[in-house]
Amino acid sequence: MSGFTVLLLGGTGEARRLAALLAWERPDLRVVTSLAGRVARPALPDGEVRIGGFGGPAGLADWLRRERVGAVVDATHPFAARISTSAVTACAEVGVPLLVVRRPGWTERPGDDWRRVPSLQAAAEMVAGLGERVFLSTGRQSVAVFAGLDRHWFLVRSVDPPDPPLPRRLAVVLDRGPFTVAGELELLRRYEIEVLVTKDSGGTMTAAKLEAARELGLPVVLVDRPPTPLAERVERIEEVVSWLPGLPGIPGS
């Protein structure tokens, strides 16, 4: 086993597929996947895993030095802005190469009725005039933003139960993607949903709800992504394997 360590900031389907790909393509490397620990029973990737935060940029920089990390790959969720910002700062301080993997965002298609907003707070303001029964698919940590909308009824879907404060009128479905269009249509019809609120996460894991909303003619409030980290970026995990051989100190470079 090589002494070259790659830190993979994970928590996404791409990160799990990348960990498996690196285990197959580069078994000579030590790959450590870091998970934030916000999900009680996360889907674990192949290889070595650490769970929990680093303690901000300074803590991450200390960890990179202590573990003698040769490269960092940020394959976190597009809305995980805090860890992505910490990675940019820590890698610059320690002098470790950083590559960001970001799947493309969703693109509006004919028949869609999308209302793009810059934040969750703006989404909460937007739903007031669009419908009373809301499918809130923005993750359990953002439900509190909608807690004051007592005139609305919310369906929340998340892997773990959301934390209070919560909307007064609420139903929670615990589930993990990927989801199908047929399943999403059944869900929207069963709960008589009138508007969908979601983040522009991109990818295929949860895109079926957008197709279902299109078919039913429902308005969609779509929260735009935060700014992309100031680092080299790719869209496909295969590009990470091509990027690694050009790094100093890596075997085979």
Q: For residue 249, what pLDDT is reported?
A: 87
Distance CA 68, CA 87 (A): 15
Domain with CATH 3.40.50.720 in the chain: 5-103+227-246
pTM of the prediction?
Answer: 0.89
Mean pLDDT across the chain, nearest whole number?
Answer: 93
Q: Which residues contact 107 (CB under 8 A, 6 or more apart)?
A: none
Please give the pLDDT value at position 1: 43
For the structural domain made of 114-223, what CATH number should be given?
A: 3.40.50
pLDDT one-digit tens code per residue, 201-230: 998 888 999 999 999 999 999 999 998 888
Third-level CATH fold of 5-103+227-246: Rossmann fold (3.40.50)
pLDDT digits (tens, 9 = 90+) for 30-51: 999 999 877 667 778 989 999 9
Q: What is the pLDDT of residue 226?
A: 92
Q: Print burial letters for 217-250: b (CB count within 10 Å at least 16), e (below 16).
A: ebbbbbbebeeebebeebeebeebeebbeeeeeb
